[in-house]
Copies of this chain bind each other. A is one copy, B any other.
């Protein structure tokens, strides 16, 4: 169980420490024979680099950059807060946040290009499902900088990993929750999406429809509202829908702009069952007030932590930590996380 050192490896391989170092860190040319001996010894001893010692010797600091969509979106504000908090309490890690105009391929390209050649140990980017970013991403990664997509994926060939939820599963989950709340009765269900060109919205909608169609066929759906994540637009459209559909039993909001949705509901007497995404200030209080009923959250803390752990593993060239997939989490008013920072235990 006692872990072996590179000196142990060198001794077993019958070479000097310097040579073993040259092999494992690919420092300079080494004869094939020596390389083989060293690699065998590594395998035999199960040697793994002591990252703590290595970082100490180098006074290593990690510099990771997050590219996040700008704008007032409460969810991304929350993400920003989480990143800042992690930046605070990690001693050897610097986290930078760069705002990029939302849904803007060209702006994202420009920012990615800016990163090229800078001393960066990893990039986490809220992706766009477009091919146009390929050159910049390839350039970055060819320099050894890992790129992970966060929350919204990039084309899979152009990033090292995706950290985010399965949005089809999220949509299915919403459908099941709302469907079961009908207890077998018929119902009418309004779906509000943001922008169906966005991959995550499309996926959620697809998952949602799968389950409603298959398992709750007595639920009908009026035309989908495409609200562009815009509160004002959504408030208007939702008010009209509530008037047009006095038999409305449920609402599923796929994207952002839920301020408008909640306003529209509050202004009416009808109280449909509501499911929406992301636990933020607004959705939390609406949940407590009984205006909405289910919040499907993607646990942004876990996503940020997973992204950090993964980028570190990739840049350290160490086996990545077990990827526990981020699952959509369901909040009711009864299992909300406590709001204020808790005091330390004891």
Contacts and interface: CB of A to CB of B under 8 A. Distances in A.
Nearest first, the 7 closest Cβ-Cβ pairs linking A and B are A161-B345, A183-B183, A172-B334, A52-B52, A330-B330, A173-B335, A173-B334
Interface string A179-202: 011110100000000000000000
Nearest to A181: B180
A324 B85 CA distance: 13
A81 to B, nearest CB: 12
A335 B330 contact: yes
Complex copy number for this chain: 2
A135 interface: no
Contacts of A293: 180
A185 B160 CA distance: 50
Contact of A180 (B53, B176, B273): B273
A257 interface: no
A122 to B, nearest CB: 13
Interface residues of A, number: 56
Interface string A325-346: 1011110111111100110111
13 contacts: A52-B52, A169-B335, A172-B334, A173-B332, A176-B333, A177-B332, A181-B181, A207-B334, A320-B345, A327-B336, A329-B335, A330-B330, A330-B335
Contact of A1 (B1, B85, B94, B273): B94
B320 A91 contact: no
Contact of A185 (B183, B323, B345): B183
Most buried by B among A50, A173, A335: A335
Contact of A323 (B177, B332, B342): B342
Nearest to A171: B334
Contacts of A270: none
A48 interface: yes
A301 B55 CA distance: 28
A268 interface: no
Contact of A310 (B177, B335, B341, B345): B345
Nearest to A174: B334
Contact of A301 (B162, B310, B324, B344): B324
B335 A170 contact: yes
A267 interface: no
Given A91-B48, A183-B181, A342 B325 contact: yes
A211 interface: yes
A3 interface: yes
Nearest to A185: B183
